[in-house]
Amino acid sequence: MSELGRTALHGLHLELGARMVPFAGYDMPVQFPMGVLREHLHTRTAAGLFDVSHMGQVLVRPMSGDMADAALALESLMPIDLCGLQSGRQRYGMFTNDSGGISDDLMVAHRGDHFLVVVNAACKEADLAHMQARLPGCHVEPVPNRGLLALQGPLAAQSLAQMIPDVMAMRFMDVATPAWQGHDLWVTRSGYSGEDGFEISVPNAQAMPLARALLALPAVAPIGLGARDSLRLEAGLCLYGHDITPDTSPVEAALAWAISKARRASGARAGGFPGADRILTELADGPTRLRVGLLPEGRAPMREGTELFATATSPAPIGHVTSGGFAPSLDRPIAMGYVPAPHATPGTLLFGAVRGKRLPLQVCPLPFRIPTYQR
Amino acid sequence: MKYTEDHEWLRVEGDLIVVGITEHAASQLGDVVFVELPEPETMVAQGDEVVVIESVKAASDILAPVDGEVVEINADLTDSPALVNEDPTGAAWFFKLKVDDLSVLDQFMDEDEYNDLIS
Question: So what's the ipTM on this one?
Answer: 0.85
Residue A320 corresponds to which amino acid? Answer: H
Which of B56, B61, B79 is best to mutate for the A interface (most A CBs within 10 A)?
A: B56
Looking at the fold, whether A269 and A316 belong to one and the same domain comes out as no
Boundary (domain end) residue, out of A253, A271, A286: A286
Interface membership of A29 toward B (CB under 8 Å): no
Looking at the fold, whether A318 and A237 belong to one and the same domain comes out as no
Chain A environment of B34 (Cβ under 8 Å): 299-301, 326, 333
Contact (CB<8Å) B54/A300: yes
pLDDT tens-digit readout, B4-62: 999 999 999 999 999 999 999 999 999 999 999 999 999 999 999 999 999 998 889 99
CATH number for the domain spanning A310: value is 2.40.30.110
Looking at the fold, whether A145 and A278 belong to one and the same domain comes out as yes
Contact (CB<8Å) B30/A325: no
Surface-to-core class of residue A167, CB atoms within 10 Å of its CB (0-12 exposed, 13-18 middle, 19+ buried): buried
Cα–Cα distance for residue pair A339/A309, rounded to 1 Å: 9
Q: Which of A40, A230, A300 sits opposite B34 (nearest CB)?
A: A300
CATH number for the domain spanning A153: value is 3.30.1360.120
Boundary (domain end) residue, out of A286, A313, A336: A286
Q: What is the 3-state secondary structure (H, E, C) of chain A?
A: CCCCECCCCHHHHHHCCCEEEEECCEEEEEECCCCHHHHHHHHHHCEEEEECCCCEEEEEEECCCCHHHHHHHHHCCCCCCCCCCCCCEEEEEEEECCCCCEEEEEEEEECCCCEEEEECHHHHHHHHHHHHHHCCCEEEEECCCEEEEEEECCCHHHHHHHHCHHHHHCCCCEEECCEECCEECEEECCCCCCCCEEEEEEEHHHHHHHHHHHHCCCCEEECCHHHHHHHHHHCCCCCECCCECCCCCCCCCCCHHHCCHHHCCCCCCCCCCCCHHHHHHHHHHCCCEEEEEEEECCCCCCCCCCEEECCCCCCCCCEEEEEEEEECCCCEEEEEEEEEHHHCCCCCEEEEEECCEEEEEEEECCCCCCCCCCC
**Which residues share a beta bridge with A290?**
A339
Interface membership of A356 toward B (CB under 8 Å): no
How many angstroms away from the CA of A250 is the closest CA of chain B? 28
Contact (CB<8Å) A226/B52: no
pLDDT at B58: 84
Boundary (domain end) residue, out of A249, A268, A286: A286
How many angstroms away from the CA of B34 is the closest CA of chain A? 6
Looking at the fold, whether A79 and A108 belong to one and the same domain comes out as yes
Looking at the fold, whether A119 and A39 belong to one and the same domain comes out as yes
pLDDT at B57: 83
Interface membership of B117 toward A (CB under 8 Å): no
**Chain B residue with minimal CA distance to A355?**
B52
How many angstroms away from the CA of A325 is the closest CA of chain B? 7
Residues 6+ apart with CB under 8 A from A126: A103, A104
Looking at the fold, whether A208 and A282 belong to one and the same domain comes out as yes
Contact A27, A97 (CB under 8 A): no
Low-confidence stretches of chain A (pLDDT < 50) are none
Looking at the fold, whether A275 and A314 belong to one and the same domain comes out as no
How many angstroms away from the CA of A347 is the closest CA of chain B? 24
Interface membership of A296 toward B (CB under 8 Å): no
How many angstroms away from the CA of B81 is the closest CA of chain A? 10
Which of B31, B34, B80 is best to mutate for the A interface (most A CBs within 10 A)?
A: B31
| B117 pLDDT above the threshold of 80 | yes
CB atoms within 10 A of CB A184: 14
Q: Residues A203-242, buried b or exposed e (16+ Cβ, 10 A)?
A: beebbbebbeebeebebbbbbbbbbbbbbbbbbbbbbbeb
Q: Which of B36, B52, B56 sits opposite A325 (nearest CB)?
A: B56
Q: What is the CATH number of domain B2-100?
A: 2.40.50.100
pLDDT at A252: 98
Structural domain count, chain A: 2
Looking at the fold, whether A236 and A253 belong to one and the same domain comes out as yes
Q: What are the residue boundaries of the structural domains of chain B, listed by start?
A: 2-100
Looking at the fold, whether A143 and A38 belong to one and the same domain comes out as yes
For residue B86, the SS3 value is helix
Looking at the fold, whether A262 and A316 belong to one and the same domain comes out as no
Q: Chain B window 59-88: which residues touch A at a Cβ cutoff of 8 Å?
A: 59, 78
Cα–Cα distance for residue pair A251/A282, rounded to 1 Å: 7
Chain B environment of A325 (Cβ under 8 Å): 56
| B65 pLDDT above the threshold of 90 | yes
Contact (CB<8Å) A325/B36: no
Interface membership of B57 toward A (CB under 8 Å): yes
pLDDT at A375: 87
How many angstroms away from the CA of B59 is the closest CA of chain A? 9
Contact A239, A255 (CB under 8 A): no
Looking at the fold, whether A153 and A261 belong to one and the same domain comes out as yes
Chain A environment of B57 (Cβ under 8 Å): 30, 36, 226
| B91 pLDDT above the threshold of 90 | yes
**Chain B residue with minimal CA distance to A331?**
B33
Peptide bond connecting A367 to the previous residue in cis, omega within 30 degrees of 0: yes
Looking at the fold, whether A250 and A320 belong to one and the same domain comes out as no
Strands A220-222 and A47-51 turn out to be parallel
- In which domain, by residue range, is A190 found? 1-286
pLDDT at A270: 97
